[in-house]
Amino acid sequence: MISRIIGSSARGLKNIWMFYYTGFREMTVGKTLWIIILIKLFIFFIVMKMLFFPNYLSSNFDNDKERADHVRHELTNR
């Protein structure tokens, strides 16, 4: 019973893998687009997010109480 479930799950995963694999292989203009997507995601998530867009409150304060106190100070002293 268990081996049958594992077998059918493995076949299902293999089918999904082949679906995407052959889909990507047969692409024409899609290859250029995927290169653009990957470069874009690298720039957005690795370069921009990590170097230029740290979460201000998460990176400057240790816990929610400190963050709330900071925001209270900001909102009542501007």
The residue ranges that bind other proteins (CB under 8 A) are: 19-20, 22-24, 26, 29-30, 32-34, 36-37, 40-41, 43-44, 48-49, 52-58, 64, 67-69, 71-72, 74-78
CB proximity list for 57: less than 8 A, separation 6 or greater: 67, 70, 71
Q: Using CA atoms, how far apart are residues 47 and 50, in angstroms rounded to an integer? A: 6
Question: Which CB atom, from 6 or from 53, has the smaller least distance to other proteins?
Answer: 53
Task: Pick between residue 6 and residue 47 the one whose CB is nearest to other proteins.
Answer: 47
Shortest distance, position 3 Cβ to other proteins, whole Å: 28
Q: How distant, in Å, are the alpha carbons of 13, 48, 61 from that of 56?
A: 41, 14, 8
